[in-house]
């Protein structure tokens, strides 16, 4: 039986929560925030909010994973979820919480890990690696939000 691997990161973003959520929900903008090892991000259906389908590739220790994600909004304006339509079991959840004139953003992912020794190693390495990647993603989101604020 595969175990679930969970990774997360959070950061305060220098923009109001409504603006930050709008940036995350617009999949055409979302690609700007993804750091390496994400690449080849494509909006296949939709563009903003629930009902979008996006695809991208991610380099991992095991090679390259091609993912196709459906976007839902369990709590519009607060929670955005990307769920792999394939067989990885990957779910990426973005939670935006107002924090005065700023927003606290949390990215949490959960996926079906490997079994056996490979699963043990993955359970140790993947959460740390993804935490660092998500911190980069949040830094890119913050830079974009600041640029938008400064431009207005």
Q: Which residue has the higher pLDDT, 124 or 20?
A: 20
pLDDT (tens digit per residue) in 33-92 = 999 888 999 999 988 889 999 999 988 766 888 899 999 999 999 999 999 998 778 899
Q: Is the dihedral of CA 132, 96, 140, 54 positive or negative?
A: positive
Whether the pTM exceeds 0.85: the reply is yes
Return the pLDDT at 31.
86
Between 116-151 and 17-25, two packed helices, what is the crossing angle to 10 degrees?
Answer: 120
């Amino acid at each position: 039986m595969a175990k679930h691997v969970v990774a997360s990161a959070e950061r305060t973003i220098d923009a109001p929560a409504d603006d930050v959520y709008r940036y995350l929900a617009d999949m055409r903008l979302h690609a700007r925030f993804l750091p390496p090892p994400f690449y080849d991000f494509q909006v296949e259906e939709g563009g903003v909010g629930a009902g979008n389908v996006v695809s991208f590739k991610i380099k991992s220790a095991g090679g390259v994973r091609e993912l196709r994600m459906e976007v839902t909004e369990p709590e519009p304006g607060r929670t955005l979820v990307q769920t792999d339509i394939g067989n990885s079991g990957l779910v990426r959840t973005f939670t935006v919480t107002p924090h005065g004139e700023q927003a606290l953003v949390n990215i949490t992912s959960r996926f079906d890990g490997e079994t056996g020794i490979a699963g043990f190693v993955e359970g140790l390495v993947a959460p740390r690696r993804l935490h660092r990647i998500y911190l980069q993603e949040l830094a890119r989101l913050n830079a974009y939000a600041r640029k938008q604020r400064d431009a207005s």
